[in-house]
Every structure is written in structure tokens, then in C-alpha cells.
Structure 1
């Protein structure tokens, strides 16, 4: 049958009817809010390239946590900016590291707030790479030593779990990282600590503002030998499959906005929860355009987050989380 019997507009005639037939929507329960913590006192410093996102010292973190929890957000992704850096990223796995201290601070005050610890070395190394540097014996060229890096990443994950992290989120893209971390966590008795793996992480230009926020830009070269080529789709399934076999509990696709096809592909091929990471430049572009009056920020963000859900995301990591939660509450 066809027109005039079939009229697709019948189901769009009012807001109430459109609400009834709506296929996808996000709720505050889907949102994960990233937070940046640093050493010192009295620090609440706005990140220049990310309006509305701040570095917090622990003594100023309480006000942000109170607001976040009050909005109904149930999970945060924790990034640390250390006082000192070295070639091994030692402060990533120290008991008194900034992520560990912040995790204890948060869990003492908000035990039900899920703390997801980003597990990487780039913020903590003086060279800014996600793994250890090895100089090739014949060429002298600096390379990322995959297997040596795994040991330090596993130590970092265990130290974060001991501090009280509810979920470990390794973002380093070393081969075998999920296996190494899962083994180390299990050996230390953290059998029930899930791994939210950055399974599909592209070498993307959309990370620029984050590197400003985390002070993690590489000091030489780039990350294209371990992060994925943005042109590749089938490779995403190989990466995700490796992590599933090694024991991942959730699979992140990062970035999200330019990779909705990848979110859908991962969702269709694996039965684990899929996480879309709405990254820094995706956020900052919206903020810049809204500040210039070029777009309706609420409408754009709502459409974008809904798009991630439509693509197959079960959870969304986003710097828009607080605003999105307010809009859900009608504020």
C-alpha cells in the first residue's frame, strides 16, 4: 500500500505523539562526566580551550562533586595532572599519586558515585607518550616499547583499584593491555573490578583540547603507531575482538561524533556494553559556536547525544554531562 493510505506524518502531529513513538533517547543514567584533578590548594582553573571545564585541587573538588551528584550523574571519569613527570610515568602508579588521592577523597564522601580511573601513562611521562620509550639499537630511533609498557600499566591499574576505583579504563592502546591488567587485578584479588577498555581509539585530531587539559601532548612524533588510522573500519572489529577475548567488560569507541558507524558496528558484533566518548574538540566546537550565537547549544547537544544512543551506545562519556542532566530535569 502507498499514499494516500500510508501517511507517515500521522505519527508526527503533536509533541505528545512524537514522544510516544520516539525510538531513542538518552537519560542521566547514560552519562559519565570527566573530571580533571591536580595537586595544590585553592585551584579551580578553567581550561582555555574547554569552556566550563576546570582543573580542580582536592580542596576545591567537593563543590564540583556536590553539583555533579545533585544532578543525578552516577559516574565520573577521573584524569590526573601530576606535579612531576619522568620517563616511566612513576606518579601514575604511586600510592600517593593524584588519581589515587582523588579516588580516596571521592569515595570517602560519595561512596555510591562510580569512580572510573583512566589508566594511561601519557599525563605522567615527560615525553607524553602512552608507553615506555625504547631506542632502536641500530637506528637509535625512539619507539614505543609495547611489552615493557604493559607492566607499568598493570601496576597503575592495581594502584587505582587499591585506592577505591570502581572501574579501570585503560586508554593506552598497547597490544595485550587488557590481558595484562586483568591478570594483575585478579592476582591482587580485584576479580570483580570491571575493565572499561578503550578498545577502538583512533589517532584523531579531535583530541587537541584534551591534551591542553591533561598536559599530555607528545614531546616528539605522534601516536599513530598505537592509535588507529581514522580511515579504518574493519580494524575496529579486530581491536574490539582482542579486548573481548582478553577480558574486557565494556568497549569504548573514541571519538564518537565522526565514528557513529563504528559505534554501530561494534554494537552489532559484540554483546558487551558499548561506550561512546564524546571527546574534547567535539565539546569545544559546540561551545565556540554557541558563544558566537551560531547554534542552539541545547538543541545541538541533545541531538548529538541522542545520535550516539541511536548508533548503539549504552553509555556516553561527555563534558556536556552536567548541562544535559540539567536539561533533563527541565532546568
Structure 2
């Protein structure tokens, strides 16, 4: 339900962490600025912030001077936390104290890109639903068992919001603006940016396969989605064909035509790539990872992994442990 416009502009803070996405900042701030123009009055005041007040470098190496350090910011109505790096050497105490100074029970916190990860590290997502860019979902889920992690474009759970970043940033802003100032303003913004529609929060992030082949082969996309949802206990090719409503031969033909492989090989590579991600990003044991990725024994997992990546799981884990930290 749309809320009546506030009598004074809302104050929006953008906390840029090192290596944050300039694109996410540009999309979010542009949407707010254009909302002011369409309304013909100032609905939003924007402040740029960093933890120390020093200039921040975006992930494209461009510098972003900021207005204030977070700890010196005036009272905010909403604070965006922008991040693109989960391995920063970040002074968490500065992040926590800066948010605490804002009365976090009343403040709306929004994580853009990997921003939700740092909100979680600071302790502000305990018991909430949240999302993050699909590439970081596995690590996010493993590190924070008390958070309900989804693959949706964005999540809104009380005064804790999160967004996958990229194009989903605009979807989130359109939703937020519509709740604040009505659907008409959001619709005009959609037209201004030549957007066909406002995607709902429940829409899943686009999987890489859909990006590669588009939406012209829903049976193939459904088959891959089934594989992705059944990593730990793999389905047979016959079962997958049955569930998506095609014959085994039709399914094999689709995989051959569009992915130049057979379903069983694609499924195996999917499970091995998932295993590689877990080896690189989590502290689970090699046996646990093998079982989580559908391999019935350690030797079977190690042999399959070596045949595909030309290295063993143990060697893969050693690379991660010996890699220099940024």
C-alpha cells in the first residue's frame, strides 16, 4: 500500500565499501534523482559515505570522493551498503559503530551486491531473509546459518532489505519508490528508463544458462534447474525427462543442439563446478563436499574431479589456503 509523501525529503546514505560497484551506485542514485525531477520537488537527499571519510575506489578503479565518514552522518532514513568483495580487510567495528549511531532498530538497511554479506558480518541480518548475487550464495549460506538466503532478485524483510545488484538494483528502487510515492511515479520512472516492466522481488536471479540461450527453450532451462536443485542426490536422465515432460531422446537432442553435450555429462560438470566452489569458498571437509555434490565415495569424487580439472580436491583446497589475501 502506498504511503503518503513525507513532509520533508528522506535522507538516503550510500556507504561505499572499497571495491564497490560503481554501476550499482549509479543506478540507485540516478533513480532517486529522477524521482525528484518527476515529482518536481525534492523527495530524497543523497549523502555519500565511507567508513573513514576518505575517497573510495570502485571496482573499476575510478575514485569516489565522499561527503562524510559514516560515524559523522546525520540521521538517515535509509542506508545503502554497497560492496562487491567478500574478502576485504574491513574494520568491522567502524561499520558496527556507524550503524549503531543511526539507531538501527528504526533505520532501513539495504545491502546492494555483496552489501548484505557485510550487513550479516556486522550482525544486522540475524533471523532475516536476504539475498546476494548468485555467485556468492553458496558462501553466504554456509557462513550464516541464521539467515534465510534466497536467490531472488531482492528481498524485503521488515527494515532489512537486500538486492543482488546489477539490473536488480533498478527493480528494487522501483519497488521502494512505489511504496513511498505510489505506482504512478514508479511507472513514469519505468518509462523514463525504457523499462518494460517492474520485476517482483520473488523473481529469481537469471541463471547463466538462461543468459546464454534466452527463453526460447523452457524445457531445457527446466531440466537444468532440476539438476541445480538436486546436486546432493542426482536424478537420472530418465527422471529429468519425465519431470520436464519430454522423452529421454528429446532431452538428449536439446542438450546436444544447444549445449553441445549430453545431459549426464552436463550434470556431472555442474556438480563438479559446485564442488570446486565449495572447496574454494568454504571450510567443509573434502568428504563432506563430495557427499554434498552427489558422489558416493571419496575416491569416486577425487577421480572425477582430477579427470575434469586436472587437479585433485586436496590440491584445489591447498591453493585456496596458500593464496595471498588482498
TM-score by length of 1: 0.30
Larger strand percent: 1
Larger helix percent: 2
Between the two structures, name the one with larger relative contact order (CA 8 Å, sep ≥ 6): 1
